[in-house]
Amino acid sequence: MNVLISEVGPRDGLQSIARIMSTEAKKIWIDKAVAAGFTEIEVGSFVPAKVLPQLADTAEIVAYAAGIPGLTVAALIPNARGAANALAAGAHKITLPLSCSESHSLANLRRTHAQVLEDARIIAQMIRELPEGQRPHFEGSLSTAFGCTIEGVVPQAKVVELAEALMEAGCDEVGLADTTGYADPAAVRSMIRAIWGAVGKEALTGIHVHNTRGLGLANVLAAYDVGLTTFDSSLGGVGGCPFAPGASGNIVTEDLVFMFEAMGVSTGIDLDALFAVRNYVQAQLGDEPLYGFTPLAGLPLGFVPATQQSTSNEGALA
């Protein structure tokens, strides 16, 4: 596997639609995704059920997924209380969002940068108190890193400063998130290099981009070319309409996997099995629209995915 595709549909996708998927259906989705080759899935968010009833079963889903061998179970945590619940449920990776635009942070989380950073310190301490081998990977996510719908431009220097602050607070890693779909490939390249210059390459390996303005895959490719290796995406782009202002518009897992596999970059994911996961999720979501081009067009005639080539090479060596 050359790149890690982190499926965020069960969290980022489902939180953006009104329909509530049953706990059983979520478990089957996760099972099918693992069978298709996914090794990391963000399965939920530890927010109060009254805020996001779609994700009220996150603790149960995390505990279930943590029992699947080889799967890294990721969860979003809004604060220290959410982190405590995530640790109790057995999450392997927890992500604390820090909105680089303080206005956005105040509007959405009602918290200042200083308050979020204090939470990061508390969470890092909670993790240190766990026995070795039970400590989850702690990521601080730099959301609105490429611009904000309230403040507009977010200076690169501010993002770099917050990346340093998150690492100092005790995060294992920071992640970049283009929450608003403002990024472009040049901005992505420049931002990654600036953050690496401040905190080191091993402290930033992944990016979460949106397709709000159609640049999602271009931004992923820019990040890959510079050297990032982990990319978030949502099956069928669940929960985001690319043409609706303010919609999240996650990039579509199927198209992302196709792009890498076509380039000769192995994702470890089987595209036909992935299309079957899509069909299952579509059946569960009824008339909720799914997005993406590859599932509708089908694979090119004679297409040999990189993952299949690497598997057959391993077979030849064995």
Please report, as ranges, the residues that interact with Zn ion according to CB under 5 A.
Answer: 12, 248, 250
**In whole angstroms, how close is the CB of 179 to Zn ion at the nearest point?**
7
The Cβ-side half-sphere exposure at 134, using a 13 Å CA radius, reads: 11
- Kindly report the number of other CB atoms within 10 A of residue 167's CB atom: 20
**CB closer to Zn ion, 40 vs 270:** 40
Active-site residue, selected from the candidate residues 100, 148, 171, 241: 241
What residues have CB less than 8 Å from 313, skipping those under 6 apart? none
**Minimum CB distance to Zn ion smaller for 38 or for 306:** 38
Query: Minimum distance from CB of 303 to Zn ion (Å)?
Result: 28
Nearer to Zn ion, 236 or 305 (CB): 236
Q: What's the sign of the alpha-carbon dihedral 178, 181, 186, 187?
A: negative
Instruction: State yes or no: is 148 an active-site residue.
Output: no
User: Rounded to 5 degrees, what are φ and ψ at 119?
Assistant: -60, -40
Angle separating helix axes 185-199 and 156-169, nearest 10 degrees: 40
C-beta of 191: minimal distance to Zn ion in Å? 17
- Min CB(107)–Zn ion separation in Å: 17
Look up residue 100 and give its two tokens.
């680089």
Q: Which is nearer to Zn ion, 170 or 239 (CB)?
A: 239
Residue 79 or 212: the one with the smaller Cβ distance to Zn ion is 212
CB of 171 to Zn ion, least distance (A): 19
One-letter amino acid for residue 63 of the chain: A
Residue nearest to Zn ion (CB): 12
* Residues classed as catalytic: 241
